Amino acid sequence: MKAIYKREIKMYFSSMIGYVFIAFFVLITAVYFSIQNILSLSPDFQYVFSSVIMMFLILAPMLTMRLLSEEKKQRTDQMLLTYPVSIPSIVLGKYLAAVTVFLISLAITGIFPVILSFFGTVAVAQILGSYIGFFLLGSAFIAVGLWISSITDNQIVSAVATFVAVFLLLMVETIVSAASGSEGFSLMFAGVIALLIALYVYYNTKNSEVSITVFIIEAAVLLVLYFVKRSIFTGLAGKFAMMFAVLTRFNSFAMGLLDVSSIVYFISFIAVFLYFTVRVIEKRRWS
């Protein structure tokens, strides 16, 4: 793991990516810092992070797009997988390297609240909270990006898909509040999930009859449930989607709350995506 981590860190800083990432991150934060704190004479630095969250759309793909896709393309995964290192340690090494670059840029922005503290009273707890929350949020996006880069061997596809994934994660609350409540929508949503399960069955067994049967059974169960006990579907899609509402979790940190359940949430979120990544790599060896 250490060897992989060291190489990735070196890669970030021997290519431009590491510097561009840090420069971009600090610049955007500095712009918002100037507008929200200096120009408006406010010491509330914690709101800056809420304002710059959108830059993850670009930053997350930037860090993760080549991590695993490039290994596959250059066939260097053949080296990693035939060396005496385990797949989890490869994934973890790469993940920690990306998180480290993110952490470095986050540390540099630490200068802003220090500046503020000379001229006014800063809310230490809230700022610390928002730092922790922002770090966990970014780490979660990086985990998603790493997983996506393990699926494809094309950097551009990886970057675009990560952009879309981060966008959806940031929009979960908006989408849910706009569309939930209607049972019809929930049924449609459950149908899509059923279809995905059937496709997953097909992907693993390559047996079209079995997967079609599975889908028909699922669809029948759903329709029966819909007509017999419609109340189940009330807000079902919304409840499910809210499992991915990372922004809601982040907001509790920005208010200065060190919510244990949110910390556990983010750590599990990251662990699940790292696990998916390991599975994707392992799966490829078997197919």
Partner 1 sequence: MIEVKNLVKNYGKYEALKDISFKVDTGEVVGFLGPNGAGKSTTMNIITGYISASSGEVSIDGFDILKNPKEAKKRIGYLPEIPPLYMDMTVTEYLNFASDLKGVKKAEIKPMLDDIMEKIKITHVSHKVIKNLSKGYRQRVGLAQALVGYPEVLILDEPTVGLDPKQIIEIRDVIKELSKSHTIILSSHILSEVSAVCNRVIIINKGRIVASGTPDRLSESLSQDRFKIKLKGVREDIINAFKNDSSFGFVEESQTTEEGTTDLVVEGASGVDAREAVFDNAVKNGFKLLMLKSEKLSLEEVFLQVTENENFSLDDLSKDKTENISSDNINNIQKSAENTAEEIDRVLENTEPDKDINEMNRESDEK
Q: Which stretch binds partner 1 (CB under 8 A): 5-13, 130-138, 178-186, 270-278?
A: 5-13
Q: How far is the CB of 155 from partner 1 (least distance, A)?
A: 14
Q: Which is nearer to partner 1, 84 or 227 (CB)?
A: 84
Q: How far is the CB of 63 from partner 1 (least distance, A)?
A: 17
Q: Which is nearer to partner 1, 2 or 239 (CB)?
A: 2
Q: Which stretch binds partner 1 (CB under 8 A): 8-16, 25-33, 94-102, 139-147?
A: 8-16
Q: Token digits for 276?
A: 């998916």
Q: What is the DSSP string of 109-158?
A: TTHHHHHHHHHS---HHHHHHHHHHHHHHHHHHHHHHHHHHHH-S-HHHH
The SS3 of residue 182 is: coil
CA 64 to CA 144: how far, in whole Å? 9
Q: Which is nearer to partner 1, 136 or 281 (CB)?
A: 281
Phi, psi torsion values for 101, nearest 5 degrees: -60, -45
- Rule CB under 8 A: which of 56-95 touch partner 1? 74-86
- Rule CB under 8 A: which of 9-38 touch partner 1? 10-11, 14-15
Q: Which is nearer to partner 1, 118 or 286 (CB)?
A: 286
Q: Which is nearer to partner 1, 3 or 196 (CB)?
A: 3
Q: How far is the CB of 77 from partner 1 (least distance, A)?
A: 8
**C-alpha torsion sign, points 158, 160, 164, 166:** positive
Q: How far is the CB of 2 from partner 1 (least distance, A)?
A: 7
Q: Which is nearer to partner 1, 35 or 79 (CB)?
A: 79
Q: CA-CA distances (angstroms) from residue 1 to 20, 78, 82, 150? A: 25, 16, 14, 17
Q: Which is nearer to partner 1, 77 or 222 (CB)?
A: 77
Q: How far is the CB of 284 from partner 1 (least distance, A)?
A: 8
Is position 209 an interface residue for partner 1 (rule: CB under 8 A)? no
Q: Enumerate residues 6+ apart whose C-beta is below 8 A from 249.
A: 133, 136, 137, 259, 262, 265, 266
Q: Token digits for 58?
A: 């670009």
Q: How far is the CB of 200 from partner 1 (least distance, A)?
A: 17
Q: CA-CA distances (angstroms) from residue 222 to 144, 226, 243? A: 30, 6, 21
Angular region, 181: left φ>0, alpha ψ -120 to 50, beta rest: left
Q: Residue 143 in contact with residue 102, Cβ under 8 Å?
A: no
Number of residues near partner 1 (by CB under 8 A) = 26
Residues that bind partner 1 (CB under 8 A): 2-4, 6-7, 10-11, 14-15, 74-86, 206, 285-287
